[in-house]
């Protein structure tokens, strides 16, 4: 059986995304990395042909930090297809906007904490 996680085809792209994280992604990563919430998160994790911002395999939880590019019609369609695949795999998704992260980081982390410990 072939894997759907972190395929070789998108390895270089995942690495570039990790190196060039947005500031909101960086802020969240600093608060969830190294088991700070009691679970391990991976950043820029491949699931199928998609790359998610953060993934906790133990809890089957994706965290997405959405910038302005996520709100065009094309991007919304892309995200809907991606969300459908995640749902088929039994993976929950938490989405936050860049603005939410930058203005209410503590609240964002609290929502993530609650999702991890529910």
What is the count of structural domains for the chain? 1
pLDDT reported for residue 19: 77
Question: How, if at all, do strands 50-56 and 61-66 pair?
Answer: antiparallel
In a domain, 106, yes or no: yes
Domain with residue 24: its CATH number is 3.40.960.10
Helices 105-116/23-32 angle, 10° precision: 50
Query: What is the model's pLDDT at position 13?
Result: 58
pLDDT value, residue 1: 37
Query: Does residue 91 carry a pLDDT above 80?
Result: yes
The model's pLDDT over 8-59, given as tens digits with 9 standing for 90+, comes to 677 665 667 777 799 999 999 999 999 999 999 999 998 988 999 999 999 9
101 falls within a domain = yes
Q: What's the whole-number average pLDDT of the chain?
A: 89
Q: Is residue 53 part of a domain?
A: yes
**Structural domain boundaries, residue 37:** 8-116
């Amino acid at each position: 059986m072939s894997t759907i996680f972190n395929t070789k085809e998108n390895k270089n792209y995942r690495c570039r995304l990790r190196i060039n994280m947005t500031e909101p992604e960086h802020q969240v990563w600093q608060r969830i990395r190294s088991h700070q919430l009691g679970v391990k998160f991976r950043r820029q994790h491949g699931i199928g042909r998609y790359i998610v911002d953060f993934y906790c395999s133990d809890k089957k939880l994706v965290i997405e930090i959405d910038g302005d590019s996520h709100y065009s019609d094309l991007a919304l369609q892309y995200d809907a297809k991606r969300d459908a695949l995640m749902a088929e795999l039994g993976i929950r998704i938490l989405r936050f906007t860049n603005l939410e992260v930058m203005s209410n980081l503590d609240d964002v982390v609290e929502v993530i904490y609650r999702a991890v410990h529910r």
